[in-house]
Copies of this chain bind each other. A is one copy, B any other.
Amino acid sequence: MDFERHLSHAARAMHASAIRKAGDVGLAVRDVISLAPGYPDPSLFAWDEIRDIARSILSGADPTVLQYGATRGYKPLIDALPELLNHRGITATPDEIIITTGSQQALDLCARVFIDAGDTALVELPAYTGAMTSFWNAQGHLVGVQQDAAGIDIADLDRVVLRERGAGRRVAFVYVVPNFQNPSGLLMTLGRRAELLAWASARDVLIIEDDPYGALYFDDVAKEGETRPLKADDREGRVVYLSSFSKTVAPGFRVAWITAAPALVARLEIAKQSADLCTSSIDQRFVYEIWRQGVLESRLSGLRAAYQRKRTVLEEALRRELGRHVTWPEPKGGFFLWASFGGGIDTDALLTRAIAHGVVFVPGSAFYVEPHHLNRARLSFSAPPPAQIEAAAVRLAAAVREEPEVRGRSGQEPPAGLAAPRTALESRPPE
């Protein structure tokens, strides 16, 4: 049977996730250390409390725990979220909230509710792959916008929107991750946030603000106030705000949420009915109880400290092992370090060498709208224990030493930390 003929054009064009692919490599190779997926550290999950909660919610006293639930979500959790959002400066009512099966579903629902085939969706350069695949799968026309150290570049954004509209395309939205962006780790400045909101209002563009990492700022270099979401200052309902319990509670529970204007939430709800009817009832109870019992709040400072330590371990190991061969913007929170290697290093090729040395990461090309061979890589420091992060840096350095551009520096001493025996292989000029 010719299966290809039975596929929709949409399916034939669908993008597989480069992150998931790199993650699979991590699983398939023995003893590999993975810096690829943005997984939280399971040793930081509240195992004891979750076990206690399981006993109480599964007593049978409440039969709805294992029943289908409302599409909008478990009502007590929806009613609790305004308080949690209030800590972030956001004023919201329950009719502005819908629970989603992870933030990936939130992105997918936004894609379906805001994008028609051919509409333009604007993303940062680089941007989160998972969001891009959702926008692509809704047959959106993705266009990248430059960002600098302060966040998305408003002048470039304006140029792009005028160009797209000039070409007759509807601009569905601009998608941003202001807090510890995936993959760059960048923290958008408060000034840039204000500019972005004002610009969006002037140009009548919807903003999708994705904020999975905001609670995980590193207090040696960032303040909580710097993570204030765009949504907190949204007076028009222009911002569709996404956040999740995956990084702060556990991603094995697929529970996230969208906060948006009631008219938009109503549409997202209809889209969710046909997507999966409802999010797991029991997962929502777990998350609700973890919030209600204060477990979430009481653990946040510990989570911040733990991820901050891991970031420091990775930064120090990279400096020691790779010296000037790698640079990065300092991660002020979140899970990611966005590494730039020497100009001649192609991280897609480097990945193959890295796997041979037992370490895996996501090449920068995964985070761009257009296929790029790039000298960037996303290194996730969130999941592995510190000793593994150190070992990963040693392995990565060994892979970098095999790069033609590094091996080919004839007449120069190898830089500190790269003093490995020369191989007999011929050097190739960098591409």
By a beta-carbon cutoff of 8 Å, the part of chain A in contact with chain B is: 1, 3-4, 6-11, 14-17, 20, 24, 27, 37, 39-40, 42-43, 45, 47, 50-51, 54-55, 58-60, 63-71, 101-102, 104-105, 107-108, 111-117, 119, 130, 133-134, 136-138, 172-173, 206, 236-238, 246, 250-254, 261, 263-264, 267, 270-271, 273-283, 286
Contact = CB atoms under 8 A, between A and B. Distances in A.
A271 B14 contact: yes
B276 A102 contact: yes
B51 A273 contact: no
A11 B260 CA distance: 16
Nearest to A260: B3
Given A66-B45, A112-B8, A270-B15, A101 B276 contact: yes
Given A63-B43, A114-B8, A37 B275 contact: no
A113 B311 CA distance: 40
A6 B114 contact: yes
B63 A101 contact: no
Instruction: Please give the count of copies of this chain that the complex contains.
Output: 2
Contact of A54 (B7, B51, B113, B138): B51
A280 B252 contact: yes
Contacts of A267: 7, 11, 14
A130 B274 contact: yes
B282 A7 contact: no
Contacts of A51: 54-55, 58-59
B14 A137 contact: no
B66 A58 contact: no
Contacts of A6: 114, 172-173, 206, 264
A65 to B, nearest CB: 6
Contact of A280 (B39, B136, B254, B274): B254
Given A58-B51, A253-B280, A105 B172 contact: no
Nearest to A65: B252
A273 B129 CA distance: 11
B278 A254 contact: yes
Nearest to A41: B63
A105 B254 CA distance: 14
B67 A101 contact: no
5 contacts: A1-B236, A3-B263, A43-B63, A47-B58, A101-B276
A172 B6 CA distance: 7
Given A43-B63, A66-B253, A253-B280, 18 more contacts: A8-B114, A11-B113, A11-B114, A14-B270, A15-B274, A20-B277, A24-B70, A27-B70, A37-B68, A51-B54, A54-B55, A67-B250, A101-B280, A102-B278, A108-B274, A112-B137, A134-B274, A251-B281
Contact of A172 (B8, B134, B237): B8
Contacts of A237: 1, 3
A235 to B, nearest CB: 10
A39 B68 CA distance: 7
Nearest to A275: B108
A273 B67 contact: no
Nearest to A14: B270
Nearest to A269: B16
A270 B101 CA distance: 17
